[in-house]
Amino acid sequence: MKSNRLLYLLPLLTLAILAGFFGWSLLSGRDPASIGSPLVGRPAPRLEAPALFPGKPALTDALLRTGKPVLVNFFASWCTPCLAEHPLLERLASRDGVTIIGIAWKNKPEEARAWLERLGNPFAAVGYDLDGKMALDWGLSGVPETFLIDAKGIVRLHFRAPILEKDVNERLLPLLKAGS
Amino acid sequence: MLPELGHFALILALAVALVQATLPLVGAARGDIRLMALGRTAALTQAFLIVLSFAALMQAYVTSDFSVATVVANSHSAKPLLYKISGVWGNHEGSMMLWVLILALFGAAVALFGETLPDGLRARVLAFQAWIGVGFLAFILFTSNPFLRLSPAPLDGNGMNPLLQDPGLAFHPPLLYLGYVGFSVTYAFALAALLEGRVDAAWARWVRPWTLAAWCFLTLGIALGSWWSYYILGWGGFWFWDPVENASLMPWLAGTALLHSAIVVEKRDALKSWTVLLAILAFSLSLLGTFLVRSGVLTSVHAFAQDPARGMFILGFLLAVTGGALALYAWRAPSLQGGGLFQPISREGGLILNNLLLCTLCATVLLGTLYPLFLDLVSGAKVSVGPPFFNATFVPISFALFAALCVGPYLGWKRAELWPALVKLRTAFAVSVIAMILAAVLIDRRATLAAVAFGFGVWLILGSLYELADRVKLGRVSWSETKRRLRATPRASFGMTISHAALGVVVLGAVGTAAWNAELIRTFRIGDRADFAGWQVTLAKVVPVRGPNYEAERAEIVVTLDGKPYTVLTPERRLFLVQRREVAETSIHSNLLRDLYATLGEGDVQKGWTVRLYYNPLAPWIWLGAALCALGGFVSLSDRRLRVGAPKRSRVIVQAAE
């Protein structure tokens, strides 16, 4: 009879567990839309892309193993947030001397070239990934996305949105200073 | 002035609800007739006040009173009247108002039509209903006041999400809420029964019409929502296993299980505590759905009013309503004595199998919906659970349900033989297998699962119709005898046949649309031609058009069959001027056997336009079937024994035990 009574408590217990999870979820302030950055802390994925500007060497993994931290930025000429982010990249490259590698993602090379020629080119090297195959390895969900790769070739930061002033000052530059 | 009046009426409604929630309970405990009778008066008063308040809010929308904050946020003077009205519930505050309105109307309906109920039971049911009302009214008044004034008032409003400006979606929330909130009556009946410690055939008979009505409305609401996503989102699909969709499916599954288990209580006096539990769960799952949609703990393509702060309130409310009920259940249910005994192979056994399968389906949907949330919290891993999971779990379990569905009605109460039932169904079985093989061979050799599902669809339709034919001895006795038997068949049985067969129609529609469709996405310049699923399609022209609150490009896609004109599809791309948002308006040519479906993407004269074409065989059957399913419910609802003034309970039990 006793075990029978416990059986009738089962729905209540199930509810308590469910409610616990819901409360935890609400209080944790998690963003269900965020898909996370599983690459952080791991070696950078393969970098292999034809150069955007004719005559320049193709992009390879060697660019990520120069002993210096680098930023990898995926962009496209059709992407308005990329346009908003562009001045900040220019400043990072010229003022802070950060090496930035650009990848034009799902973007026709001539359009990406015209875009950079019009706005200025902050990238030490630019490649393109027309069909987005390479970006699959990087877990790209759209553009712009930016990765900070440290001197050992490990991914340190992953921005799934345009980088802002705040991100640069609070996250990017401190890590860069500590790394170099 | 009117908004203040509405606000004041809402505050009064809360006060009345508090009275309704307490005094009748005291009256029922003390046996005080006057206090119990107060429940009826309070329920009617509360409904009157909320109708008044809702009317005031609607007046503000219809006359575009931009001194009211919610009207500014969700309406615009240039909007067509239908959407000014549907705009009332197309946002968080207004939809909560719609919720309490329907709740109060259901309460008033119990007060008006519950004349045959014992005084104590009616008083308790109304009191428990009022508790739910108290919770929601407090929620509205303290966190989401729809009558908040703005000063100075802006000249015009921000408009409404263009995706919601659609006739289908204008009626989707009211129907869905009629379903969700309808289960609150069943819930209140369950609590009252637990408190009284009495669950019997009479109780089951009183609960049945409310469950049935809620279930019918929920069926229609879900179907309308699915139809909306089919033609407005422009993806050609009808069900995406999205959390919001799942949230409405779970109470439907629990409600369907409840409908069936309540029959066992009514006819055989068994499965009592299980039925009471289902009655609590059906409403709790409706609340859970509201919580998931409103709190923002899950992402969804349909979410339109998310706010974590409100999430906490709804969670607290969910905990109080469900937790309180389940605690009462844990305390009182063990004392409910089961009545009738039966063998595993019997009508009761069949209905238990039905319940097991439906509840497994419900649990599967719950798990699939919440698993990403659990995993993220526990391990931080991000996953999404989508169609592959549900195809691998939900579909096979439904097959088991479909297989058993046609056999159950053949089994007698208490004890039955399986074999004679199967023999009677042999023709239906043979035809279904042939249909399955034909589908596999002729239509698509790779889509095995689709062929099996197709076979099950045919089986459901034939099996259900066979049962009716057997019941009236069609072809085995004279036509006049068959007619006599047809007239003697209770409407509830007709309802069952219609709903069961309708499920088959839905299955066939779903198989056709999901597995045998054809799709073409390409860029068309003016004059470009393409072959598509046997037709020749040409983009004839693209012209600008102007609507009341949008500008659009309308394409004219000429469809010809063997050189002869067949039809012209006119998909549009609408730019809503207030929100600066583009919405694709699909164009569908339907002939009840298949849909030819076109949407217009971005483009211009030089580059051409992206056009998506879908050929969806049997697609209209999905919604036709769902409507038939609800119709079956309404037919059953009109059954003599559920109507007011029907013969007394004792006779019904004699009839039922035949």
The alpha carbon of residue B330 is apart from the nearest alpha carbon of chain A, in Å, by: 5
Considering only the beta carbons, identify the residue of A21, A24, A26 that sits closest to B311. A26
- Residues paired with B544 in a beta bridge: B553
Q: Do B315 and A23 touch (CB under 8 A)?
A: yes
Closest chain A residue to B374, measured at CA: A21
Query: Which pLDDT score, from 0 to 100, does residue A32 have?
Result: 64
Provide the residue type at A130 as one letter.
L
CB contact at 8 A, B408 and B347? yes
CB contact at 8 A, B620 and B510? no
Give the pLDDT confidence of A101-152 residue by residue, as tens digits: 999 998 889 999 999 999 999 999 999 998 888 888 888 888 889 999 988 8
The rounded distance, in Å, linking the Cα atoms of B398 and B362 is 11
| Alpha-helix runs per DSSP H in B114-200 | 119-143, 167-196
Query: Which pLDDT score, from 0 to 100, does residue B517 have?
Result: 86
In DSSP notation, B394-444 reads HHHHHHHHHHHHTTGGGSPSS---HHHHHHHTHHHHHHHHHHHHHIIIII-
The rounded distance, in Å, linking the Cα atoms of B282 and B370 is 18
The rounded distance, in Å, linking the Cα atoms of B370 and B373 is 5
A52 alpha carbon, distance to own chain's centre: 20
In DSSP notation, B83-127 reads HHHHTTTSSHHHHHHHHHHHHHHHHHHHHHHGGGS-HHHHHHHHH
Considering only the beta carbons, identify the residue of A15, A18, A24 that sits closest to B377. A24
A61-179 falls under which CATH superfamily?
A: Glutaredoxin (3.40.30.10)
Reported as type and span, the H/E element at residue B553 is strand B550-561
Q: Which residues contact B49 (CB under 8 A, 6 or more apart)?
A: B9, B10, B12, B13, B16
- Residues paired with A159 in a beta bridge: A146
Most B CBs within 10 Å: which of A10, A12, A13, A24, as the mutation test of the B interface? A12
Q: Do B273 and A18 touch (CB under 8 A)?
A: no
CA distances from B559 to B516, B517, B533, B550, B613 (A): 20, 18, 11, 27, 11
Q: Which residues of A touch B365 (CB under 8 A)?
A: none
Q: Which residues of A touch B315 (CB under 8 A)?
A: 19, 22-23, 26
Closest chain A residue to B332, measured at CA: A8
* pTM score of the predicted model: 0.85
Burial of B451 (0-12, 13-18, 19+ CB in 10 A): buried
The rounded distance, in Å, linking the Cα atoms of B491 and B489 is 6
Query: Which pLDDT score, from 0 to 100, does residue B657 have?
Result: 37
- Residues paired with A43 in a beta bridge: A154
Provide the residue type at B302 as one letter.
H
Query: Which pLDDT score, from 0 to 100, does residue B307 have?
Result: 65
Counting runs of H as helices and runs of E as strands, what totals does chain A give?
A: 6, 5
Q: Do A11 and B281 touch (CB under 8 A)?
A: yes
Name the token pair of B102.
């329907």
Provide the residue type at A155 as one letter.
V
Query: Which pLDDT score, from 0 to 100, does residue B650 have?
Result: 42
In DSSP notation, B265-301 reads HHHHS--HHHHHHHHHHHHHHHHHHHHHHHH-SS--S
Residue with tokens 């389906």: B361
Domain regions of chain B by residue span: 1-152, 166-405, 425-514, 518-617
The rounded distance, in Å, linking the Cα atoms of B626 and B100 is 27
The rounded distance, in Å, linking the Cα atoms of A34 and A39 is 14
Longest dimension (CA), chain A: 84
Taking chain B (658 residues) in consecutive chunks of 10 residues, what is each chunk's mean pLDDT? 92 96 92 90 95 94 89 85 87 89 94 87 94 92 88 81 78 89 94 90 90 95 89 78 88 95 87 92 90 72 60 85 93 80 84 94 93 82 81 92 90 84 89 92 81 94 92 85 88 92 95 88 89 89 88 91 89 83 86 89 84 90 94 89 48 39
Percent of chain A with pLDDT over 70: 93
Average pLDDT over residues A157-163: 87
Residue with tokens 């500007």: A53
Q: Which residues of B touch A26 (CB under 8 A)?
A: 295, 297, 308, 311-312, 315
Q: Do A19 and B323 touch (CB under 8 A)?
A: yes
Cβ of B330 under 8 Å from any chain A Cβ? Answer: yes
The alpha carbon of residue A1 is apart from the nearest alpha carbon of chain B, in Å, by: 9
Most A CBs within 10 Å: which of B277, B321, B326, B382, as the mutation test of the A interface? B326
Of A100, A109, A101, nearest in space to A128 by CA: A109
- For residue A35, name the pLDDT band (cuts at 50, 70, 90): low
The rounded distance, in Å, linking the Cα atoms of B403 and B460 is 8
Query: Which pLDDT score, from 0 to 100, does residue B45 have?
Result: 95
The rounded distance, in Å, linking the Cα atoms of A6 and A10 is 7
The rounded distance, in Å, linking the Cα atoms of B304 and B72 is 17
Cβ of A41 under 8 Å from any chain B Cβ? Answer: no
CB contact at 8 A, B346 and B421? no
Longest dimension (CA), chain B: 82
* Residue B32 CA neighbour count, 13 Å, CB half: 11
Query: Which pLDDT score, from 0 to 100, does residue B253 have?
Result: 96
Residue B546 DSSP SS3: strand
Name the token pair of A138.
């990087």
Q: Per this entry, what is the length of chain A?
A: 180
CB contact at 8 A, B402 and B456? yes
Say which DSSP state A169 is in. Answer: I
Considering only the beta carbons, identify the residue of A16, A26, A36 that sits closest to B312. A26
**CATH top class, domain B1-152:** mainly alpha
CA distances from B556 to B122, B233, B234, B565 (A): 60, 20, 17, 13
Q: Do A9 and B330 touch (CB under 8 A)?
A: yes
Residues of chain B numbered 256-275 and touching chain A (CB < 8 Å) = 273
Q: Per this entry, what is the length of chain B?
A: 658
Considering only the beta carbons, identify the residue of B297, B329, B334 that sits closest to A22. B297
Q: Which residues contact B235 (CB under 8 A, 6 or more apart)?
A: none
Query: Which pLDDT score, from 0 to 100, does residue B522 have?
Result: 87
Q: What is the ipTM of this complex?
A: 0.79
Taking the C-alpha atoms of B188, B192, B194 and B200 in order, what is their torsion angle to the nearest 10 degrees?
A: -100
Percent of chain A with pLDDT over 90: 27
CB contact at 8 A, B140 and B97? yes
CB contact at 8 A, B319 and B291? no
Domain regions of chain A by residue span: 1-30, 61-179
Cβ of B367 under 8 Å from any chain A Cβ? Answer: no
- Residues paired with A149 in a beta bridge: A70, A155
Query: Which pLDDT score, from 0 to 100, does residue B299 have?
Result: 63
The rounded distance, in Å, linking the Cα atoms of B244 and B393 is 19
